[in-house]
Amino acid sequence: MTEKLKLENSERLYKEAQELIPGGMMGIRRPYNFVPGEYPIFFEEGKGGKVIDADGNEYIDMLCAYGPIIMGHREKEIDKAAMEQIKNKGFCMSLVQSIQNKLAKKVTEIIPSAEKVVFLKTGSDATTLSTRVARGYTDKTKILRCGYHGWHDWCVEVKGGIPKKLYEDVFEFEYNNLDQLESLMKEHGPDAAAVIVTPVGHPLAHPVQMPKPGFLEGVKELAHKYGAVLVFDEIRSGFRFSMGGAQKVFGVTPDLSVFGKAMANGYDISMLVGKKEIMDVLVQKVFVSSTYFPNSISMAASLKTIEIMERDNILEEIKKRGGIFVKRVAKYVKRSKLPIELSGGELMPYITFNKDEKGLYKKMRNEFYAQLIRRKVFLQPYHHGYVCYRHSPKDMRYAADMVGEALEIVKSKV
């Protein structure tokens, strides 16, 4: 039996943090989102495809900072580009630097929907700006949404502190449920400014879904039928499913798209891209500004990340390594005969436990992920994983085999 990890320093830091920061840390990084008492709470460092916690335990990092780490931690070429920008050019100025244009040109070359670009910092910045632009362009109000789009008032699931009037014009529909969207559009379509959807479905704590034949095409048709702007939220899928995003893979080009996470290997940058005539409402009619949006460190990192990914065919290598993991895990899942599902493919792998009336799935899930972290594989019970370039084939085989061991223990305890 693999012993529980020693996490004394993590626990000490967590206790200290709770006196300084509400909850100790923000949102999805809090211990209740993992298996409390089993998972580390503080990391100390990362290198390549691995991370080390505050107690010195080393893990294969298959959460990749929730997606930004596409290459690996402390990637020398990318970090060097960022440091050279700081040392040779500076990065925070009253006016923009020319590197903005260089990155924008590159983006418009590789993303189908990108005719013009606005750079921001976070995914929430980008999705929120997309709704403002759509409302400004259409002079309509309502937003139809599918997927997680951040923590801002219009879309966050937890409504504490948010007046109802700030989200009363936003309506949700389920991924791959075209009939539901059609019904909503019949009711709200004449007043709909935008339909925003994740091209790959990733509902919290549920299996990752790929679009059914005709789904994305149908969403686009319905949006345009009612004069709404179609927005793809590619924060997770962008620069991972392809350099041009999932829209390039699935052959459906939206009016606007948002990107972030993997575009700079962990540096803080996101963007809204789209058709010229829609984006140009930002010239005068719609306002956006921030002290830090034009900062150039992340732009330098993004340019270098894109350069390396194209030069070394990084995404194909990631798919190969993710394929090693998924094929091996699929065999263990089948062998276990447990009520579980493997989804997300080689890019966003996720192991979920099917719900049952007695709630046994919760006990199985906790046991599985506890056994997995004890074997030094870092995944999250409520969120799909990721594969990065620095995950070696050996890492992927080991991680898959540890999934197999964990499933055997769960099976023995059911």
Average confidence (pLDDT) over 253-266 = 98
22 falls in which pLDDT band (50, 70, 90)? very high
pLDDT band at 275; cut points 50, 70, 90? very high
Q: What is the pLDDT of residue 204?
A: 87
As a whole number, the mean pLDDT across the chain is: 97
List b or e across 252-278, with b for residues whose CB sees 16 or more CB atoms inside 10 angstroms: bbbbbbbbbbbbbbbbebbbbbbbeeb
Listing DSSP states for 177-196 in one string gives -HHHHHHHHHHHGGGEEEEE
What pLDDT sits at residue 220? 98
pLDDT at res. 207: 96
Contact 256, 278 (CB under 8 A): yes
The confidence score (pLDDT) of residue 376 equals 98
Instruction: Report the Cα 113 to chain-centroid distance in Å.
Output: 19
Percent of the chain with pLDDT over 70: 100
Looking at the structure, give the CATH architecture of the domain made up of residues 8-73+313-413.
Answer: Alpha-Beta Complex (3.90)
**For 107-112, which contacts have Cβ atoms below 8 Å and span 24 or more sequence positions?**
107/271, 107/273, 108/273, 110/243, 110/244, 110/306, 111/238, 111/243, 111/244, 111/245, 111/247, 111/248, 111/257, 111/259, 111/273, 112/244, 112/245, 112/247, 112/248, 112/253
- Interval 39-74: pLDDT, tens: 999 999 999 999 999 999 999 999 999 999 999 999
pLDDT at 95: 98
Which amino acid appears at position 68 of this protein? P
Determine the distance from the C-alpha atom of residue 351 to the mean position of all C-alpha atoms in its chain, rounded to a whole number. Answer: 17
What is the location of CATH 3.40.640.10 in the chain? 76-311
Percent of the chain at pLDDT above 90? Answer: 99
Domain with CATH 3.90.1150.10 in the chain: 8-73+313-413
Mean pLDDT on 364-385: 98
Gap between the Cα atoms of 155 and 226, Å rounded: 22
Check whether 1 has a pLDDT greater than 90.
no
The CATH-assigned architecture of domain 76-311 is 3-Layer(aba) Sandwich (3.40)
Among 1-5, 73-77, 82-86, the least confident range: 1-5
Mean pLDDT to the nearest integer, 282-306: 98
Residues 6+ apart with CB under 8 A from 88: none
**Taking residues 237-258, what's their average pLDDT?**
98
**What letter does residue 93 receive in the DSSP assignment?**
-
**Half-sphere CA count of 384, side-chain side, radius 13 A:** 25
What confidence score (pLDDT) does residue 124 get? 98
Q: What is the pLDDT of residues 321-353, one digit of tens each?
A: 999 999 999 999 999 999 999 999 999 999 999
What is the average pLDDT across 165-186?
98
Q: What is the mean pLDDT of residues 65-92?
A: 98
pLDDT for position 201 = 97
| pLDDT of res. 414 | 80
Distance of alpha carbon 332 from alpha carbon 342, whole angstroms: 10
State the pLDDT confidence band at 296, using cuts at 50, 70 and 90. Answer: very high
